[in-house]
Amino acid sequence: MIRLTVSDIAQIVGGRQVAGDGDSEVDGPVHTDSRLVVPGSIFFALPGEVTDGALFAAHAVAAGAALVVAERELDLPAPVLVVSDGVAALGALATEVVARVHAAGSLSVVAITGSNGKTTTKNLLRAILSAQAPTVAPQGSFNNHVGAPISMLGIDLDTRYLVVEMGASGAGEIARLVTMAKPDIGVVLKVGLAHVGEFGGIDAVQRAKSEMVTDLRPGAVAVLNADDDRVVAMAGLTSATVRWFGLSASADVRADDIEATSTGTSFTLVVGHTRMPVRLRILGEHHVLNALAALSVARELGLDLAAAIRELEAVVRAERWRMELLLPPSGAIIINDAYNASPDSMAAALKTLAQVRSGGDRTIAVLGEMAELGEYSDEEHDRIGRLVVRLNIRKLIVVGHAARHIHNAAGLEGSWDGESVFVETPDEAYDLLREDLGTGDIVLVKSSKSANLRFLGDRLGGVTQGGSTT
């Protein structure tokens, strides 16, 4: 973060200083988790659903926190600011820091939203941009009302590029984040059913994602998916310049000759009359759109596309537990994609499983719940079960009561000669598979994070708890 005095921060966040020297300066990282605090950090002691960050403020100070921001007075041997709303204070500080860095130099802010693909696209952009100049793009999925401001506060006066994910669970959340970051480029990837239960319908999801473009300033650029009709409709809602990416022939940046294999995904990048080969090490045809979005941003920033492609091709995986390729001693191939799941991403992962099969390879899908679908849950789990059959996946293991409709629907497809098995726990699924897997077997493990199948994928892939392979 940029260097500020405690008094400066108090004025920015509307806080009352109750301890410490107001003239002391801080420029360390901002955290809401005391376990991450390092000397010089600013600790926001936010109340949470499970516990209260104020209970851990003393631990944060012991770890070296130079400033604590809390919603009540705390007796600590460090400066303390008391605010009425910790989340609002965090947002106010992020807004001011981004504005000051913008005004002081050549910062470009890229914001990304969409029902699927935000984290992958952010990671691809980080690879491209960090090779060019100092870049801040968070690890993991820091995309909500707390995580996104923390990402923004990672910048300093030397930062050239800031990449921010913007997620939402309701109306107005993306608009608030756009107001904080004031993006130069806003990317909308897709409007789908992810978290649709929280929004109350697909139209509400579309309106929420539209907040990215409606609040872009004139002179900014909206990078939109030409293949998604709901995203295409956003072009009429923005005063920003619109650029298109996708498979459509009308897209400014598009892909041709797509081929997915068990070792990656290749395509030809087409920009005007220029055609350039791209070979991603990331599995899945659906990641082509994420790559196109990243390359569209690089183009708008005036970067060399050949150099950008080289950085994309060096990315080994989208993210931990996202289409992560594991090669255990059994000789099987494990695709661990169990960090998030929506109907769109589940269908894309299953399509990838079917596409990467060659010859007599046996395909096995281990599927768990797609969470937060609300009234759409039964219908969408049913649809996935039928898709497994239509893609001729050879074996299906469904884990957990919440995902049972996948198993039931597969069993109702009479034309299928594969096998579907239902189990209650990941341990049962592991016991079914551990002695059964061998060379030529390709296993997809896919679910929402809450189903905990990502750890099952690790076990099948020979990954230890620390993340290394055995």
What would the pLDDT profile of 308-332 be if each residue is shown by its tens digit?
999 999 998 777 778 888 999 889 9
The yes-or-no verdict on residue 122 having pLDDT over 70 is yes
Which tens digit of pLDDT belongs to each residue from 10-30? 999 999 999 888 789 999 999
The yes-or-no verdict on residue 465 having pLDDT over 70 is no
What stretch of H or E contains 106?
none
Identify the pLDDT of residue 95: 97
Mean pLDDT (whole number) for 287-311: 97
Which tens digit of pLDDT belongs to each residue from 65-96? 999 999 999 999 999 999 999 999 999 999 99
Candidates 380, 334, 300; CA nearest to 110 is 300
Mean pLDDT (whole number) for 171-200: 85
Pairing status of strand 264-271 against strand 274-280: antiparallel
Q: Which fold has domain 324-460?
A: Protein-Tyrosine Phosphatase; Chain A (3.90.190)
Mean pLDDT (whole number) for 284-301: 95
The C-alpha atoms of residue 190 and residue 36 are separated, in whole angstroms, by 33
| Token reading at 60 | 């944060």
What stretch of H or E contains 59?
helix 57-62
Residue 216: DSSP 8-state? P
Identify the pLDDT of residue 415: 64
The C-alpha atoms of residue 174 and residue 213 are separated, in whole angstroms, by 10
The yes-or-no verdict on residue 170 having pLDDT over 80 is no
Which tens digit of pLDDT belongs to each residue from 341-390? 889 899 999 999 998 888 778 999 999 999 988 888 999 999 999 999 99
Q: Where are the domains of the chain?
A: 4-84, 89-313, 324-460
pTM for the structure as a whole: 0.86
Which tens digit of pLDDT belongs to each residue from 126-141? 999 999 999 999 876 6
Identify the pLDDT of residue 197: 59
> Which region among 90-99, 135-144, 170-179 has the lowest average model confidence (pLDDT)?
135-144
The C-alpha atoms of residue 166 and residue 323 are separated, in whole angstroms, by 21
pLDDT band at 125 (very low <50, low <70, confident <90, very high): very high
> Which region among 245-254, 300-309, 334-343 has the lowest average model confidence (pLDDT)?
334-343
Note every long-range contact of 60-64, with CB atoms under 8 Å and residues 24 or more positions apart, other chains counting: 60/31, 60/34, 63/34, 63/37, 63/38, 63/39, 64/37, 64/38, 64/39, 64/40
| Residue where the block lists tokens 């806003």 | 186
Mean pLDDT (whole number) for 256-276: 93
Candidates 357, 327, 276, 317; CA nearest to 437 is 327
Identify the pLDDT of residue 194: 62
Higher pLDDT, 116 or 290: 290
| Token reading at 59 | 């631990």
The C-alpha atoms of residue 200 and residue 207 are separated, in whole angstroms, by 11
Higher pLDDT, 137 or 49: 137
Instruction: Give the number of other CB atoms < 10 A from CB of residue 435.
Output: 8
Considering the segment(s) 89-313 as one domain, its CATH architecture is 3-Layer(aba) Sandwich (3.40)
Identify the pLDDT of residue 239: 94
Residue 361: DSSP 8-state? P
Residue 251: DSSP 8-state? -
Pairing status of strand 253-261 against strand 241-246: parallel
The C-alpha atoms of residue 151 and residue 140 are separated, in whole angstroms, by 11
Q: Tally the C-alpha atoms within 13 A of residue 429's C-alpha that lie toward its C-beta.
A: 32
pLDDT band at 416 (very low <50, low <70, confident <90, very high): low
Q: Which CATH superfamily hosts domain 4-84? A: MurE/MurF, N-terminal domain (3.40.1390.10)
Mean pLDDT (whole number) for 401-428: 88
Identify the pLDDT of residue 209: 93
Using DSSP, how many helices (H) and how many strands (E) does the chain show? 16, 22
pLDDT band at 195 (very low <50, low <70, confident <90, very high): low
pLDDT, mean over the chain:
91
pLDDT band at 101 (very low <50, low <70, confident <90, very high): very high
Alpha helices in 131-285 (DSSP H): 147-152, 173-181, 196-199, 202-214, 229-232
Percent of the chain past pLDDT 70, that is, above it, reads 95
Identify the pLDDT of residue 372: 84
The yes-or-no verdict on residue 468 having pLDDT over 70 is no
Contact 107, 159 (CB under 8 A): yes
Domains 89-313 and 324-460 share a fold: no
The C-alpha atoms of residue 41 and residue 68 are separated, in whole angstroms, by 9
